[in-house]
A and B are shown apart, each in its own frame.
Chain A
Amino acid sequence: MKKQLFITMLKESRRGLLIFSIIMILYGLLIVSIFPSFEKSLSNPSFEGSGIKLEEIENNKFNLTWDFKRGYPNHIATGAVSVFTYANFYLNYTDFELTDDLAELDINSSLGEYSISILYNGSGNHVTFNNTDNYQAFLVVYITGDWNISNATISEIVTLDSLMAKGAFDEYLKDNPMMEGMMGGNIVNMYELRGFLVLEFFSIWPLVMAIYFSIMGLSSITKNVEERSIDVLMATGYTRDRFLVEKTQVILAKFVIISISALLGLVIGTMAIGRPVPWAGFIFAFVGGIPFGLAFIAIGCLASVFINEYKRGLGIIMGAVFVQYVFQIVSNISTKAEFLKWFSMFTYWDAGELMIDEKFSLINIIIPLVLAIVVYMISLHYFRKKEIPV
């Protein structure tokens, strides 16, 4: 038996599908392309002042570099526990006695009067140090070759605060449980590509898929009923089961094509930034979303069987998707509301777990799959009984 409805409907939607697939490829590409700059700014943080740069090269190990200045061959790099510590120093650094003291002090010794420590004394332009004393602010004093202090000058002050974006992001997530909830409640390592994609791509992707495919499901019958084209299509002798099944097959084909497009976007993007493609993580994340997608398609089909006005159906379907989305967020935020997660399909597509752990959770497959099958069977049953209105 030729699947005429399936073939024709898929062919009819090829233009829209092509555009949507291209958008998905570009979306995946765009998200991955952001990663290098994100990684640079957060996982290897630095702050650059005018002629001075502070960079964290590994945990609590820093590199302070500064520019050379003509006529100032002597450089004294200093650190202080607070930027305010420098206030008094700033006023007095041309004092002869101070300079004398600075010149005599050893590395890591302290200029007690000002609570400033010497990190470097020499003619070079950088120093690497472990910040065990928890210095927060740094500057370099430039001194002339003859140590004439009246001609000394200083660099801008750089502070650790400016390097705290990475920590700040984690702090931000902790202070904003809603955002943490949206990102699945498990703070992954987003300074690594897979973790970054879990937060930046897979926090939104399930919502996009849920909305798009539940609307597709809704369209399967409601659109034809509202446009009154169902009479003509059914007049061909299609059984109601065959009609709904072929319509659903069109949606499934779109689901596969769009998922592959998004995956392709991520793969191409990863290759483009010169990183190894985490194939297993990607495959697990996308395949793990199949039961979730099927559940939303089935929910859409069920709505389609009962609702004859497309706009009303759209409102109900969107409401159902967003309620589930909110349930998932709330269940991640509050332990009291944790039970709500069982009522949300979003719980069952844990892209973070799939991407990072590369393993399927049986419950996350079985629950949405069973729901999809049951809901779809109910849709078929009621469509057989449905009165098709004029």
Chain B
Amino acid sequence: MAGRTGNKPVIDIAGLKKYYGKARGVENVSFRISPGEIFGFLGPNGAGKTTTIRTILDYIRPTAGKIKVLGMDPQLQGAEVRRKVGYLPSDFTMSSRMTAGEYLYFLLGMMDHTGNNRIEELSERFNLDLTKRIKDFSRGNRQKVGLVSAFMHSPKLMIMDEPSTGLDPLMQQEFYKLLLEEKKKGNTIFLSSHILSEVDAICDRVAVIREGELVAVETMGEFKKKTGRLMIIDFRDAINPEIFQRIKGVSDVKSEGNRLVLTVFSNVDGIIKLLAKHTVDELTFEDTSLEHVFLKYYGMEEVQRENSGAGVNK
């Protein structure tokens, strides 16, 4: 599960375990993130994404396991880690009579940051009115303040927990663009999300977590190969679905009247050639659901366990 070879990992987690009393937070989580990577952390709500992030930033302490962030141990140098990281919590909350501008400069002051900052530039980019009082902000605008605060001091590592929550689609696209620019600069981004398309659009690698346990850590290419995408085809006339099942990289072929739904794992060249022989009214692609992804991974795990003779208790 190592990242790119030759680079010292920016985040290195080994055997992380966190219990809240008897309740499990996360168990045996291990991964490394290399410099310049956009690393997705994918999982449904309550899977353990936030728990992992909070241990990385020393808001909570691990029950077991080792964490290194930028070469530092958060338990010993928590403040230093947080100072060097741009962090956006899942729900960016502020209670203050300050304006957005005053609040951001206040946070910058708390960072003891004296160099250039990106407050004006980023506010303009995200259409954030710095003169408005933050207590009057909608969730989306609060999130924009959070985004600016995470990037304003030009950190080398950004940790973002569900960052696009509350942003409208236009702002989401702007945000993804910003992340890709940061990647180009060689900065690292660790991004948790429960939205598959978000991870798909920007991440180099992804870790999938479910019920506190890592299911997989893969490059996006490997990940997409395993999870596939849904292809929905509406034919003019009725069609025999069996001919599609024979195509390499296609599975789960289902038909409903003239509609055919299939999961595509590799390139679509074979399908397109086959489709050319029929009249197609509409062709759309959809992301597979997160649950579908998990089923895929669990399915594989089950087969592997059965092959190795181990029982499955899922």
Contacts and interface: CB of A to CB of B under 8 A. Distances in A.
Interface string B73-100: 0000011101111010111111111100
A164 B78 CA distance: 71
A235 B87 contact: yes
B110 A5 contact: yes
Contacts of A240: 78-79
Given A232-B93, A232-B94, A390-B50, A238 B60 contact: no
Contacts of A239: 78-79
Given A4-B106, A236-B111, A229 B93 contact: yes
B107 A236 contact: yes
A239 B77 CA distance: 9
B83 A8 contact: no
Contact of B91 (A1, A228, A235): A228
Interface string B88-124: 0111111111100000001101111000000000000
Interface in A83-127: none
Contacts of A5: 110
A232 B149 contact: yes
Interface in A1-26: 1-2, 4-5, 8, 12
A327 B107 CA distance: 44
B61 A237 contact: no
Interface in B177-211: none
Given A4-B106, A4-B110, A5-B110, A234 B59 contact: yes
B146 interface: yes
Given A227-B93, A232-B94, A238 B110 contact: yes
Contacts of B78: 239-240
A237 B83 contact: yes
B54 interface: yes
A390 B112 contact: no
Contact of A232 (B54, B89, B97, B98): B89
A5 B96 CA distance: 13
A242 B112 CA distance: 13
A8 B109 contact: yes
Contacts of B91: 228
A238 B57 CA distance: 12
A238 B79 contact: yes
Nearest to B85: A235
A161 interface: no
Interface in B41-85: 50, 54, 57, 59-61, 78-80, 82-85
Contacts of A58: none
A232 B96 CA distance: 13
A133 interface: no
B107 A231 contact: no
Contacts of A388: 54, 59-60
A232 B107 contact: yes
A175 interface: no
B135 to A, nearest CB: 11
A388 B146 CA distance: 19
Given A2-B109, A2-B112, A235 B95 contact: no
B275 to A, nearest CB: 48
Contacts of B54: 388, 390
Contact of A234 (B80, B82, B96, B112): B82
Contacts of B94: 229, 232
Contacts of A390: 50, 54, 90
A370 interface: no
Contacts of A237: 79-80, 82-84, 110-112
A229 B110 contact: no
A153 B87 CA distance: 96
Contacts of B96: 12
Nearest to B150: A235
A359 to B, nearest CB: 44
Given A4-B106, A8-B106, A235 B50 contact: no
A233 interface: yes
Contacts of B146: 232
Nearest to B51: A390
Interface string A197-239: 0000000000000000000000000010001110111111111
Contacts of A227: 93, 95
A8 B98 CA distance: 10
Interface string B124-155: 00000000000000000000001001000000
A146 interface: no
Nearest to A235: B87
A321 B148 CA distance: 43
B59 A387 contact: yes
A238 B82 CA distance: 8
A53 B83 CA distance: 80
Contact of B110 (A12, A231, A233): A233
A390 B91 CA distance: 9
Residue among B80, B82, B95, B110 having the largest count of chain A Cβ atoms under 10 Å:
B110
B103 to A, nearest CB: 9
Nearest to A239: B79
A236 B82 contact: yes
Contacts of A223: 95
23 contacts: A4-B109, A4-B110, A8-B106, A8-B109, A228-B89, A228-B93, A229-B93, A229-B94, A229-B95, A231-B89, A232-B89, A232-B107, A234-B59, A235-B57, A235-B85, A236-B82, A236-B110, A237-B80, A237-B84, A238-B79, A388-B54, A390-B50, A390-B54
Given A228-B89, A232-B149, A235-B57, 5 more contacts: A228-B93, A231-B59, A232-B92, A236-B83, A238-B79
Interface of B: 50, 54, 57, 59-61, 78-80, 82-85, 87, 89-98, 106-107, 109-112, 146, 149
Cβ-closest 7 pairs across A and B: A237-B83, A236-B110, A4-B109, A239-B79, A235-B87, A228-B93, A388-B59
